Structure 1
Amino acid sequence: MAYADQQMSGNKITALIVVAILHVALGYALVTGLAYEAYKKVKEVTSAVNIEEEKPPELPPPPPPPKDAPPPPIVAPPPAITLPAPAPVLDTVQHAEPPEPPRPPVQLPPPPSPPPPRFTPKAATPKGNPGNWATSNDYPSRALREEREGSSGFRVSVGADGKVTSCEITRSSGSPDLDQATCDNVRRRARFTPATDGEGNPTTGSYASTIRWVIPKD
């Protein structure tokens, strides 16, 4: 390609030189009176020389795009940024509500009164003389030697059969052996008429009393 360009440029330069020489000769011929002959010769030489304009070199066609080339990526536009709207400012006015009036208390009907008993309930009563429940013969020997005296208060529970089921000291004599002798003798000797309820049936009851321990005089 470079050699062809150099050859074409050389032909053009040669043609330009020949044309310039011919113009000089034509001018000289006109001066010397040989204009007509020179014109004919110039015409023949000009006709013989074919000056071709230099054409730009042709560029090779671009290569075809590859068949398996992936399509260009699609770039999505960035999402629009939405700024939160400012919260509205509310003016609150507090109104004090009047207190509710007190409600009247609910009146409940009185409970029905129980029916009157058919019989008057009775407490347990001793059978015989309670003074015989403890005698001087029952005096604890140690308390007798030490000449200790006192009064022991007691309470007994009486069953529906009239027998003593339990005994407790409610007021001590100050001597444990005298208190113990009190409950032992009462449980052994005391008998009762049992208590009765409103229907007249025997029921449990209680009885309370006091035994006074006094040293017998000879």
Structure 2
Amino acid sequence: MAYSDQKMSGSKVTALVIVALVHLALGYAFVTGLATNFVKKQVEKLNTFDVEEPPPPPPDEPPPPPPDIPMSPPPVVSPPPIVRNPNPPPVVINTTPNPPPVYVPTPVVAPPAPPAPAPAPPAPPVVSKAAGAKGNPADWISTDDYPPSSIRAEEEGTSVIAWTINAQGRVENCRTTSSSGSSALDQAACRAITRRGRYSPATDAAGNPIATTATRRVVWKLPQN
């Protein structure tokens, strides 16, 4: 229930109570013989009694805006007067001559030392006695060593080979120093000399066996049937 409804119900209850009291007073007046004026006055009071709902309070009005206050301009401050010296001091010019430049000699850097030369290879031992072939060296390479592929291709030529005779008198490190034009013929010459060559090793002045080298020209001619 709203606040206005509750207030109206309370007013009605109050009016009913007052009416009841008036009726009681009228009854009592009739019983006791009160004057008629009293009854009329009470009736007039009842006629003029009107229960009205009080009006709602007015809304709060916003406060009026403050009046505009004009801004006063800042006071103008005048700069102080410039006081000039009538007799300024003379300008002093430094006439001291500049000091002479200091000469700093450039340090002499020595060139880098050349690299040390590589040590010379040891001198070959002095052969006191040359190596001696065991058997006939002409038999070590023959037409039997002619490669079949070279025979079919009819290859001929001269192979110059060189090899090392080690301290045990064996042939090793055979190589071609001048080719016959056929690698098959050159390789056949080295295979034959390595397989068949045998030597008494060379010795130095103290009689110790040393390694030496030997060379040979091998002429390849196609065998005649």
Normalised to the residue count of structure 1, the TM-score between the two structures is: 0.45
Normalised to the residue count of structure 2, the TM-score between the two structures is: 0.44
